Amino acid sequence: MILITGATGNLGQLVIKELLNNKAEFVAGVRNINKYNGHHCNLEYIDYDNLSVMKNAFKNIDTIIFISGNAETEHRIQQHRNLIDAAKQENIKHIIYLSFITVTDPHSKFSFTRQHIDTESYLKASGISHTIVRSCWYMENIKTEIINALDNQVFIDNSNTGKISFISRQDVAKGLAQIAINVNLQDRIYTFTGSAAYSMQNIVDLMNANCHKQIKYTLYSDNDYKKRLIDAKLPEFLAEAITLNRVDIDNGDYAFICQDVNFINKKLPLDISDYIFSICCTH
């Protein structure tokens, strides 16, 4: 039996759909069962801050697809340790942990990197059989900026020339489900990226080519960009993390290209050029 955490989020719902399509036996771990309004499936109450609740949820579970919550870094580190402790005490056979591509950079400025490094290390020390999937930046993360640019002819970001091998949530979700279903894909470290890397100026060029626009790229300072994110109602800790992520982008941390997702999903991942085209066609 599989349990998926983070089941109410965008990625979690896509993973659930993949598991349903594959007729897998699973339950979705959620904090508030009464408020769940996603895909119809069996639900289990979990709380990253409550060890006994998680131990109870993990009974009769073999495999956990472990997707992070939304807490600040220090809180999230403890939450992840709690989950791993509960899994060990309940003799979970395997954990598939969704990590992040920047864990290989010891100087990463993205605050969530430290949390992923700690979780990977703690999971390894636990002795639980595990698979780690290090994902690149989701292309859906810039959808709002793409739409704003289509409306206002200006694309705003704070990165210079750094490139990102964007990956879609759908490709990540399919990969996580396939690993959970197929034991022969487990006990490895994977890196999920797109097939090509793009700078933000490249993104603007694609928008202009696909949408027949004359959008300009506007480079913001870190302070102005953080303020813009806060004005857009992002929590300050998240606005700070995304703003400082610019350093990792410009240092090349996101430009790495790997074929792991092609191998697992048996198809090429969605390219951001096609994603942009789809937005242009519907906006």
Do residues 57 and 44 touch, judged by C-beta distance below 8 A? yes
Do residues 172 and 178 touch, judged by C-beta distance below 8 A? no
- DSSP for 151-194, please give it: HHSEEEES--S--B--B-HHHHHHHHHHHHH-GGG-SSEEEE--
Contacts of 209 by beta carbon, 8 Å cutoff, 6+ apart: none
Residue 280's pLDDT is 86
Residue type, 17: K
Full-prediction pTM beyond 0.85?
yes
Do residues 283 and 277 touch, judged by C-beta distance below 8 A? no
Q: How many Å is the Cα radius of gyration of the chain?
A: 19
Residue 212's pLDDT is 87
Contacts of 66 by beta carbon, 8 Å cutoff, 6+ apart: 5, 80, 83, 95, 96, 97, 98
Strand partners, 9: none
Angle of CA points 98, 100, 103, to nearest 5°: 125
Q: How far apart are CA 216 and CA 270, in angstroms?
A: 25
Do residues 164 and 135 touch, judged by C-beta distance below 8 A? no
Strand partners, 192: 135
Running along the chain, 283 residues long, what does each successive block of 10 average in pLDDT? Answer: 94 96 95 89 94 94 92 87 96 97 93 93 97 97 93 92 96 98 97 97 93 91 93 90 92 96 97 93 81
Could you give the 3-state DSSP secondary structure of residue 279?
A: helix
Closest CA to 251 of 99, 107, 134, 113: 107
List the domains of the chain with CATH numbers. 2-136+166-194+257-269 (3.40.50.720)
Closest CA to 66 of 93, 42, 99, 112: 99
Strand partners, 26: 2
Phi, psi of 160 (to 5 degrees): -90, -95
Residue 34's pLDDT is 86
Name the token pair of 230: 């806060």
Q: How far apart are CA 65 and CA 172, in angstroms?
A: 12
Residue 282's pLDDT is 84
Cα–Cα distance list, 162 to 9, 16, 116, 222, 252 (Å): 28, 33, 22, 15, 6
